[in-house]
Structure 1
Amino acid sequence: MTTDRSAEPVGRSSDRGGDRTHRPADGHEPSLTVVICAYTVERWDDLCAAVASVHAQHRPPDEVLLVVDHCPELLRLAREHLSTGLRILANAQRRGLSGARNTALEAARGELIAFLDDDAAADPDWTGHLLAGYRAAPEVLGVGGLVRPWWQSARPVWFPPEFDWVVGCSYRGLPRRAAAVRNFIGANMSFRRAEALAAGGFRTDLGRVGRRPLGCEETELCIRLAARHPGAVLRYEPAAAVRHRVPPARTTFSYFAARCFAEGRSKAAVVRYDGAAAGLASERAYLRHTVPAAVLRSLRRWRPATAAALCAGVALTAAGYLTGSAGGRTGRTATRRTGAVRPATGGGTADGEPTRGESTTVRPTAAGRPAAGAPTWGAP
């Protein structure tokens, strides 16, 4: 679940003493790398559409990277058919979306790095609006945009727009204009690459591995970036829009329920790493305002199925959070007992799970140190 930190417009300088050195004095526009991470040949057509949408940008990116997540067949196909206009890399880290994104962070040449999902297609002016977001204020560390659902079948009548985050899309409750937010939706986000590297990149024990519907790795990184740079801004720019494919398999209530439960588990992990104040601040506002208003609106319009889905979604997410919180306490005890440190080059089993006795922390880089309040390397 991705929620806004505030509805305040951005673009003003902060008085909180953050890093304001990002805007070049000569007006030079920073270079941009666009990254697409992919893991399966089953989404080949979607991947080709994503790549085509990047090549069709009115403001072409300076570099395009495709990172293939431990799928030799997809890597071969990509090198045979998609090698024009982009660099193709194999995920050099632990299997999963976070490892693939970290591979891109380390390999990219752009000063800015933007991530587009392999089943999303960017509007032609996407990169232009992302770059404009960085020009809006020198304290902007990242820019994320609108993610529109691209339903491959009819949208279920019971599916509440407030829960479009379940299918990786922007949802009712986000700001309608440019605003500072706590975190972005992973299908459409960008960062200053040096700062993301210095913060340690994405945690490889969070995020999707194949079809496992866990997430929040982008949320955790955004929180860590904000902790490192007081006064900095993560800017939500709705004009920087993409459409995100929603296949029929993701329109069932069983998927809705599984995704809500998994989101709760992922959120518990974020709270373990970054504390409840940062990890749940936006969720409290979402539960106090967005969801109750949605339930009342559904009942007034005589849509009891939507109201029931809203209540079920909250309950399932809460159950996942409680389960994740209990499991996290057990996991911390086990890690302290083994005292093992995760290898810097990744590791884990073939399905992306950590090996026994392995600590799953953000991987340190030569570019910086962990955020204040974040776990130290090898000691979660």
Structure 2
Amino acid sequence: MTELGLTIAICTRNRAPLLARCLAALVAAERPTSAFEILVVANDCSDDTLSVAQSFAGRLPMVVMVEPQAGLSHARNRTIAEARGQLIVWLDDDALVRSSFLRAYEAAMAASPRCSIFGGVIVPCLDGEPPAWLLAGLDVVESAYAARRRAAADIFADVDADLPFGANYAMVADVQRRFRFDPELGRRPGNPFAGGEEIAVMRAALAAGHVGCWVPETIVDHLIGPERQTEAWLWGYFHADAKQRASGRPASLWGRLKAGRAFRRYRRARTVAQPREWLALFVKAAQLAGKAGVRPDL
């Protein structure tokens, strides 16, 4: 197998217009000094994802393949098997790289040989015409949009440290092949809010003695479409996230009472408070409801 410097891995499912914007940003980015590949894995797609990806073949070193088994972890594992780069850089199909992205990852790999994991910056970018309340309180809910700034420490070697998110992180390929993604985690049909597959992999690698570092020059703008700019979507996200974290813990009557009280506080504040204030109550209510297993919908 020919080994390249970087494999830019993009797993995608039925989001051809977003993929086109993602690839166009890569076309505009500065090229690394070594050979690289863009590996697009179409995961059980029924739209024109394949033709969109292949249309960039003359402008990018494209490799396009199909993973028929639906589920992000299946697509990621297919990527691991096929990648030829020394460093696998994971990029979501709704993430737009900034100009220095490729060169920054290449430089980080050369400058930090003791690191096996690299984390980049993710900046939420509200697409279309977002509601005023969301613009005013974005910082309160930006974790739902995979926002990731530079962490307090440049190096992370602790499984409980703040870790990168899947929209923009990288792992040395030889290490990545030893830590595959759990098909029970990650987005899949019927469970759009599922996630955590990349965090589980990074924690396993760190527990095995590997080290990670932040690369603040690797920045992506994470496109957030109108469908994710609603209270209903945000409620679903925070509810599902808390429910997943509480998995296996029995719900208590006290937990359900706390969730109901938090929901009423949010509803009262929604009419009189500023967005940042009521959104903080909103997030708490959704999380308590998810933890208690009540009110799955707003």
| TM interval, short-chain normalised | 0.7 to 0.9
Q: How many residue pairs are counted as aligned between the two chains?
A: 259
Deviations 1:244-270 (A, max 9, x none): 11112211111111010111233346x
Give the structure with the higher percent strand.
Answer: 2
Of stretches 313-322 and 248-257 in structure 1, the one that deviates more from structure 2 is: 313-322
What residue number does 2:65 align with?
89
Q: 1:71 aligns with which of 40, 45, 70?
A: 45
Counterpart CA distance in 2 for 1:266 and 1:187 is 20
Counterpart CA distance in 2 for 1:305 and 1:73 is 38
Is 2:196 the partner of 1:216? yes
What residue number does 1:45 align with?
17
Is 2:27 the partner of 1:55? yes
What residue number does 1:247 align with?
225
| Local SS of the residue matching 1:198 | coil
What residue number does 1:187 align with?
167
What residue number does 2:126 align with?
151
Unpaired runs of 5+ residues, structure 2, are 250-268
Q: Is the CA contact (8 Å cut-off) linking 1:182 and 1:223 kept in structure 2?
A: no
Deviations 1:23-56 (A, max 9, x none): xxxxxx971100111111xx32221121122233
Please tell me the residue identity of whatever aligns with 1:120. A
Please tell me the residue identity of whatever aligns with 2:66. A
What residue number does 1:141 align with?
116
What residue number does 1:99 align with?
74
Counterpart CA distance in 1 for 2:172 and 2:278 is 41
Identity of aligned residues (%): 24
Deviations 1:90-138 (A, max 9, x none): 115x411111111111100011101111111101111222233333433
Deviation at 1:187, TM superposition (A): 0.8
| Local SS of the residue matching 1:239 | strand
CA 1:317 to 1:196, structure 2 compared with 1: closer, same or farther past 3 Å?
Answer: farther
Q: CA RMSD in A?
A: 2.9
What residue number does 1:203 align with?
182
| Local SS of the residue matching 2:40 | strand
Unpaired runs of 5+ residues, structure 1, are 1-28, 273-298, 325-380
Q: Is the CA contact (8 Å cut-off) linking 2:16 and 2:47 kept in structure 1?
A: no
Deviation at 1:168, TM superposition (A): 2.4
Deviations 1:74-98 (A, max 9, x none): 3542465344430111115x41111
Please tell me the residue identity of whatever aligns with 2:141. F
CA 1:237 to 1:162, structure 2 compared with 1: closer, same or farther past 3 Å?
Answer: farther
CA 1:252 to 1:192, structure 2 compared with 1: closer, same or farther past 3 Å?
Answer: same
Deviation at 1:59, TM superposition (A): 2.7
| Local SS of the residue matching 1:175 | coil
Q: 1:264 aligns with which of 222, 236, 242?
A: 242
TM-score of the two chains, using structure 1 as the length reference: 0.61
Counterpart CA distance in 2 for 1:321 and 1:162 is 19
Deviation at 1:319, TM superposition (A): 3.5
CA 1:251 to 1:106, structure 2 compared with 1: closer, same or farther past 3 Å?
Answer: same
Is 2:286 the partner of 1:316? yes
Counterpart CA distance in 2 for 1:68 and 1:315 is 37
1:222-301 map, 5 Å:
222-229=202-209, 232-268=210-246
Counterpart CA distance in 2 for 1:127 and 1:318 is 40
Please tell me the residue identity of whatever aligns with 1:68. A
| Local SS of the residue matching 1:66 | strand
Q: 2:89 aligns with which of 89, 94, 114?
A: 114
Please tell me the residue identity of whatever aligns with 1:103. R
Q: Is the CA contact (8 Å cut-off) linking 1:158 and 1:309 kept in structure 2?
A: no
